Amino acid sequence: MTSASTVLDILQLTDMHLFADPAMELRGVNTATSFRRALDHALAAWDPDLIMLTGDLSEDHSAESYSYLRQALEPLGVPVFCIPGNHDNPEAMEHGLSGGTFRYCESVRHENWLLPMLNTWDGDRGGGRLGQNELEALAQELADTDAEHVLVCLHHQPVPVGSAWLDTVGLDDSDALMALIKDHHQVRGLVWGHVHQGFDRHNGGLRLMGTPSTCYQFAPGRDDFALDGLGPGYRRLKLQADGRIDSQVIQLEP
Tens-place pLDDT, residues 28-68: 999 999 999 999 999 999 999 999 999 999 999 999 999 99
pTM of the full structure: 0.96
- Write down the mean pLDDT value for the chain: 96
DSSP 58: B
Domain positions in the chain are 7-251
CB 232 within 8 A of CB 213: yes
- Residue 17 CB neighbours (<10 A): 26
CB 254 within 8 A of CB 231: yes
Measure Cα distances from 120 to 1, 171, 187 in Å: 31, 7, 19
pLDDT at residue 4, as a whole number: 52
CATH, range 7-251: 3.60.21.10
List per-residue pLDDT tens for the chain, 254 residues long: 455 567 899 999 999 999 999 999 999 999 999 999 999 999 999 999 999 999 999 999 999 999 999 999 999 999 999 999 999 999 999 999 999 999 999 999 999 999 999 999 999 999 999 999 999 999 999 999 999 999 999 999 999 999 999 999 999 999 999 999 999 999 999 999 999 999 999 998 899 999 999 999 999 999 999 999 999 999 999 999 999 999 999 999 98
**Which is nearest to 31 in space by CA: 64, 62, 65, 78?**
65
CA-CA distance, 106 to 24, in Å (whole number)? Answer: 30
